[in-house]
Amino acid sequence: MNDHVQSGNGRNLDNAEWRAAIEDALDRPDSEPMFNLRDDGEGVYDTIFIGGGAAGRFGSAYLRAMGGRPLVIDRWPFLGGSCPHQACVPHHLFSEAAALLDRSRWFSGELFFPEFDESKASILALVELFRRGRGSAHAFMNWQTQSQLEVEFVLNAAAEVIDRNTVRAAGRTFHTEGLVIGLGAYQKPLTCPGADLAGVLDWATLIEELDYEPESCVIVGGGKVAVEYGSFFQSTGCQTTIVSRSPLLRTGSLHHVDEDIRRYLLDGMRLRGMTVLEGSGLVEIEGVDGRARRVRICDADGRERVLECDLVFNATGERPNSDEVVRTLGLQTGPNGEILVDARMQTNVEGVYAVGDVIGPPMEMFKARKCGMTAARNIAGDPFEFDFSEYPDFLHSTYEVTWVGLSEDEAREQFDDVTVIQMPPKGIEHEIPLPCAEGTMLYAFTRPELTGLLKCVIDGSSRRVLGFHHIGYGAKDAFQYLDYLLRRPEGLTIDELGEMNELFLNPEHFIQLSRLRAGRRELVDL
């Protein structure tokens, strides 16, 4: 047991102490469990959260805030799960680097930008930066959960679920009224020959294992992860090819991607030197001395092609981490192993809830956290349902791409009278330096075709907005609230938008563009 974090010592750890404890635990295979327990963990918990990732951490915090007594158990020595360790946080770090590198290339030798030196743009250096620094986010999660949220936890210890009222961890037995399963998901491995060669990585193993500088990469997959990591790799000078069975961003787990936005994104990736092979499938990875060196694919015309590379990046999607607990508890699952739950996150077993990635897509942060909250409220006797069939969505290329609601094509299928307000206007896309705001001002004055694209799709008869779409910078945050406004029973009309207060220059220009048309009884495009 780790005395420093044990209950009863009268003092919580500060952030620096947590960081040292976590890094020590990660470094030593035999490191001790960490206990943060009231009453030494005796008595019966209201619920035990199996897994302390986003869903478990937010769920337990919510239940504790409501006066309940949750316990969180995680095999890692930190709370927060894969997000700050291997997933969202490094992806954001890499995407920020990609946007900066992209700008440095476009402006090489112009204005205050020096000649771009590709030799300094290193994937490995950024992975190492992340590895060195991730401990501070881990420490904060533990500190906040212990000192601000007052949640009990056992870390650095695998939970063994005995039954729905009994969990063993770190050599001890904990008693509980019920369980919340939040075990997350893992990258589905490639299954073709050569999938186990060195240099075949994914978002998790990239962080843990990369020890060389990749010079050329083949990415397998056509969703967000493929675009995000591909854009990052390419921005560093690592020649990148995306091999995708579906058209890019037309995979099953993504909805509402507008075709004009997709086209702008895809054109931009190709403009920056990336190769995107849609309708193509991976056949085999070939190695030299145990390392991946080339990839055989079957292209859209059915021909075999060989791509040289020293990194194969698997972006084919994730699978829920559900096997063991499903067997023990007799939980019902869907075709991909996702635990089936109702809108209250209740599984088929009374008293057992499941939350986050383990219940299947969308494997997004908001869903994980709100699943946790939903389970907590129902456990605490506050009936609450969570429908995540509609939500705002986002990805990075070297741009930020954000959308909510219907795409233009979807809207035209469902409504007779669709009005589109967009910038730049259709037909003069490359001529004018709009949209522009923070992040695209320099482009506006030098390369107007790089300033992005935005679109607002409206039902002319009800005057209600059906969808918002943006590629550029700085609009992501707004879409959280646009989502809320769109999903109100009364929706959001062009008239209400036109009466709002814009903060000019606002990255998405929806308010002022709406105002230019809202005076018309019969709406027309802009």
For 218, the token pair is 């083949």
Handedness of CA 63, 69, 72, 73 (dihedral sign): negative
Task: Supply the minimum distance, in Å, between the C-beta of residue 52 and a copy of itself.
Answer: 14
Active-site pick, 138, 469, 470, 509: 138
Judged by CB under 8 A, which stretch of 1-9, 155-163, 259-267, 360-368 contacts a copy of itself? 360-368
Binding mask 133-152 for a copy of itself (x = CB under 8 A): x--xx-xx---x---xx---
Judged by CB under 8 A, which stretch of 22-30, 41-49, 303-311, 432-440 contacts a copy of itself? 432-440
| Cα dist from 460 to 184, 423, 463, 466, 509, whole Å | 42, 19, 5, 10, 19
Where do runs of H (alpha helix) occur along 331-464?
Answer: 365-379, 408-414, 441-444
Q: Which of 332, 335, 368, 362 is nearest to 349 (CA)?
A: 332
Using the rule CB under 8 A, which residue among 88, 158, 192, 340 binds a copy of itself? Answer: 88
For 278, the token pair is 């849609």
Checking DSSP bridges between strand 159-163 and strand 166-169, what pairing results, if any?
antiparallel
Could you say whether residue 438 binds a copy of itself (CB under 8 A)? yes
Q: Is 192 a catalytic residue?
A: no
- Applying the rule CB under 8 A, the residues between 168 and 197 that interact with a copy of itself are none
Strand order in the sheet with 275-278: 200-201, 311-314, 216-220, 239-244, 275-278
Identify the burial level of 302 via C-beta atoms within 10 angstroms of its C-beta, where 0-12 means exposed, 13-18 middle and 19 or more buried.
Answer: exposed
Coil, helix or strand at residue 513: helix
- Applying the rule CB under 8 A, the residues between 205 and 264 that interact with a copy of itself are 236
Active-site pick, 88, 149, 192, 197: 88
Using the rule CB under 8 A, which residue among 432, 449, 460, 491 binds a copy of itself? Answer: 432
For 121, the token pair is 């743009």
Could you say whether residue 92 binds a copy of itself (CB under 8 A)? yes
Could you say whether residue 93 binds a copy of itself (CB under 8 A)? yes
CB closer to a copy of itself, 350 vs 504: 504
- Applying the rule CB under 8 A, the residues between 389 and 418 that interact with a copy of itself are 391-394, 400, 402
Could you say whether residue 122 binds a copy of itself (CB under 8 A)? yes
CB closer to a copy of itself, 316 vs 422: 422
Judged by CB under 8 A, which stretch of 33-41, 92-100, 171-179, 302-310 contacts a copy of itself? 92-100
Where do runs of H (alpha helix) occur along 364-450?
Answer: 365-379, 408-414, 441-444
For 233, the token pair is 């790799």
- Applying the rule CB under 8 A, the residues between 37 and 66 that interact with a copy of itself are 58, 61-66
- Applying the rule CB under 8 A, the residues between 444 and 463 that interact with a copy of itself are 444-446, 448
Task: Supply the minimum distance, in Å, between the C-beta of residue 478 and a copy of itself.
Answer: 4
Q: Are 139 and 15 in contact (CB under 8 A)?
A: yes
CB closer to a copy of itself, 123 vs 190: 123
| Cα dist from 243 to 219, 233, 240, 314, 416, whole Å | 6, 15, 10, 10, 37
Using the rule CB under 8 A, which residue among 195, 283, 324, 366 binds a copy of itself? Answer: 366
- Applying the rule CB under 8 A, the residues between 296 and 335 that interact with a copy of itself are none
Neighbour tally for 76: CB within 10 Å = 20
Per the DSSP assignment, residues forming a β-bridge with 285 are 295
Q: Is 138 a catalytic residue?
A: yes
Question: What DSSP string describes 297-327?
Answer: EE-TTS-EEEEE-SEEEE-S-EEES-HHHHH
Q: Is 436 a catalytic residue?
A: no
Task: Supply the minimum distance, in Å, between the C-beta of residue 95 and a copy of itself.
Answer: 8
Q: Is 88 a catalytic residue?
A: yes
Coil, helix or strand at residue 219: strand
CB closer to a copy of itself, 72 vs 437: 437
Say which residue the tokens 């990469």 belong to.
217
Could you say whether residue 106 binds a copy of itself (CB under 8 A)? no
Task: Supply the minimum distance, in Å, between the C-beta of residue 507 and a copy of itself.
Answer: 5
CB closer to a copy of itself, 14 vs 413: 14
Neighbour tally for 72: CB within 10 Å = 29
Could you say whether residue 89 binds a copy of itself (CB under 8 A)? yes
Using the rule CB under 8 A, which residue among 26, 129, 197, 283 binds a copy of itself? Answer: 129
Task: Supply the minimum distance, in Å, between the C-beta of residue 303 and a copy of itself.
Answer: 38
Using the rule CB under 8 A, which residue among 162, 306, 343, 503 binds a copy of itself? Answer: 503
Binding mask 462-501 for a copy of itself (x = CB under 8 A): -----------xxxxxxxxxxxxx----------x-xxxx
203 — alpha (psi -120 to 50), left (phi > 0) or beta? alpha
Positions marked catalytic: 79, 83, 88, 138, 504
